[in-house]
Structure 1
Amino acid sequence: MLSYEQKLAIIDSFSELTRKEVSLGRANYHYENSGYDKKIVVYHLHPNGNGFVYAGHLTGVDADERGLVNIRDYEADELRSLIKASILSLAPKSAAELAVSGTADDEERWHGPDNQTLLLVHEDELWYVYSGLNLESAFETYEEAVQYLQEEGFRRP
């Protein structure tokens, strides 16, 4: 488990986020350029190491009814990936459109039930699954992304 200081260092490395102090020594981190009303990416990070990351627009993530994921026991790579996916999911549509339009390093189209098409995009060391302009999920490896797509009934053409 990461210490509070280690979590702060990881979160502070995201220049897109702005730290805001809240009660009881906790901190929130806002993504001011969010394309949504929702701006808080990291919620109530506490000196005891507890805190939450917003994942309300992500699928395949174990979030509560408010879309929050508890990061108390997260390792460094997991925390970085979740924060990056959260920021991307809140990004204005123009950023998502750029990702879907083919500016990424690699991309694949996957076809599934009811003639749905998902786009698997490799970008910034992560694999993102998009449904149109909406981010569905993010994965650290290609293999994890493929497993997810296959489990959901999607196949490459």
Structure 2
Amino acid sequence: MLTFEEKLSIINSFPELVRKDISMGRVNFHYEKSALDKKIVVHNLHPNGNGFVYTRNIGDFETDHKGMTNIRDYSESALRDIIKQAIKSLSPSENAEVIPDDERWINTNEQTLLLTYEDGLWNVYAGQNLDGSFHSYKQATQFLDEEGFQRG
């Protein structure tokens, strides 16, 4: 596990991030040019080495209900990679690809499913019935594609 100082050094190497000291020695890093209301890329980096990176709209990362991934045991290369992806996901050029909280999916029989992000999971609903839960947007959309549904 990287130390707090090592993680700070890596995160500080991203000039687009602005350090914001918060309580109990913890640190946040903001991306002020974010195309979204969300600006925090690194959240609650703690002197014990624990911390989180915002990954809601990227990859197959396990996230909490806020869209954050724990980076406690990340290596240097993994930490750099996740931060690069997080910044990219918030960048104005990526804004067109931002995933909404809810999406309607329709098949050729006019059946409709709702894909929604709730409590860190992507849930597929048929009416009020839960049809499936997925850890990532990618997994959920692959399921819907395989079932013959398209965004509608």
TM-score (norm 2): 0.62
* Structure whose residues are more often helix by fraction: 1
Aligned to 2:48: 48
Segments of structure 1 that go 5 or more residues without pairing to the other structure are 98-113, 115-147
- CA distance, structure 2, for counterparts of residue 72 and residue 89 of structure 1: 21
User: Cα distance, 1:63 vs. partner?
Assistant: 0.9
Aligned to 1:66: 66
TM-score (norm 1): 0.60
- CA distance, structure 1, for counterparts of residue 46 and residue 94 of structure 2: 31
The RMSD of aligned alpha carbons is 2.6
User: Cα distance, 1:57 vs. partner?
Assistant: 1.1
User: Cα distance, 1:61 vs. partner?
Assistant: 0.9
Greater radius of gyration (CA): 2
Aligned to 2:21: 21
Q: What does residue range 82-97 of structure 1 map to in structure 2 within 5 Å?
A: 82-92=82-92, 95-96=93-94
Matched residue count: 105
Deviations 1:124-156 (A, max 9, x none): xxxxxxxxxxxxxxxxxxxxxxxx99xx589xx
SS of equivalent to 2:53: strand
Segments of structure 2 that go 5 or more residues without pairing to the other structure are 96-106, 108-137, 146-152
Give percent identity, aligned residues only: 51
- CA distance, structure 2, for counterparts of residue 96 and residue 43 of structure 1: 21
Amino acid at match of 2:31: Y
- CA distance, structure 2, for counterparts of residue 96 and residue 52 of structure 1: 21
- CA distance, structure 1, for counterparts of residue 69 and residue 10 of structure 2: 16
Moved over 3 A (4+): none
Aligned to 1:39: 39
